[in-house]
Amino acid sequence: MLSRQNSFYKEVLYNAIHESTKINSVRLISAGTMNQSVLLDTDKGALFLKSNYFESANIFHQELKGLTLLHKHTPLQIPKTIGAGRIDNQNYLLIEWIPGGYPNPQYWETLGHGLAELHMATFPKFGFDEDNYIAILPQNNKYSNNWAQFYAEQRLEPMLGKAFYDGLITKDFYKKSQKLYPKLPDLIPNEKPALLHGDLWSGNIIVNQQGAPCLIDPAVYYGHREIDLAFSKLFGGFQSRFYEAYNDIFPLEPDFETRADIHNLYPLLVHLNLFGQSYLPGIKKVLKKFL
């Protein structure tokens, strides 16, 4: 098994770098249910390799594309991309290794200002030029002029439909949830499409050696910027200075705190489909609030 893995690592390096690369050591970073991550110490430097056996061969191509786009539109550090592909039935993403550190005194202000600048990158429509993924779930990105319609049809409905198909929710609950859709235009303020990280929870922000924030694992598209801010509140871990710094640069519309639950229906449904019914009470609580 070890020799097979070493062979895979060597082939990844050759495919991504296009020249012979010596591996000095391999260190396991994580081995979750979705991805395996390792640190490759090579004669080209330290590299981060993520792999999985997911059936869609383009899953890491889309992540690489997202990282590249973020790099163009925010001053925050984004890992440099090296390559993505598929070898036999194993997908891989090879990127720069970011050595860790401890948050510096300006950490939260830097993150807030950097996210605000990212959200200032706009586009004529909501969506993206290709469908991509959030975690391992497909994420539809067909362009739309209307955020409420986009959110209902391409975020909530696919996740609710999957949950019903997989037996995680009843038909009655599915139908009840759809009653939220016509209410969305009155609940969410109109704004220009903003470039989103798309999966902004504390686990997707790491601290570099200088103590500054670095964004990883995006699920990019042009959407309503409150999505990112709401998601950051869902599992906690962000200090108030982050939100204050964001508002200094790009103030949110009044009553964002009340609307955050609407935006978080999407990540809650994602987690329901990924991890099961323990997330259902939170979804029911949001629907009860707005229906």
Report yes or no: 1 and 9 within 8 Å, Cβ to Cβ.
no
Strand partners of residue 211: none
Strand-by-strand arrangement of the 81-87 sheet:
23-31, 36-42, 45-52, 90-96, 81-87
* Residue 281, C-beta contacts closer than 8 angstroms, at least 6 positions apart: none
Which residues have a Cβ under 8 Å from the Cβ of 67 and sit 6 or more positions away?
78, 79, 81, 95, 216, 218
Integer-rounded Cα Rg, in Å, for the chain is 20
Catalytic residue (one of 88, 166, 199, 228): 199
Of the candidates 253, 287, 250, which has an alpha carbon nearest to the alpha carbon of residue 112?
250
State the first-to-last Cα distance of the chain, in angstroms, to the nearest integer: 54
Q: Is 199 a catalytic residue?
A: yes
Q: How far is CA 210 from CA 100, 214, 257, in A?
A: 8, 11, 32
Q: Which whole-number Å values give the CA distances from 206 to 56, 194, 209, in the listed order?
A: 27, 23, 10
Q: What share of the chain is helix, strand, coil (3-state, %, to 5)?
A: 45, 20, 35
Closest CA to 130 of 195, 221, 56, 194: 221
Residues 229 and 246 sit within 8 Å (Cβ to Cβ)? yes
Helix (H) or strand (E) holding 66: helix 59-73
Active site amino acids: 199
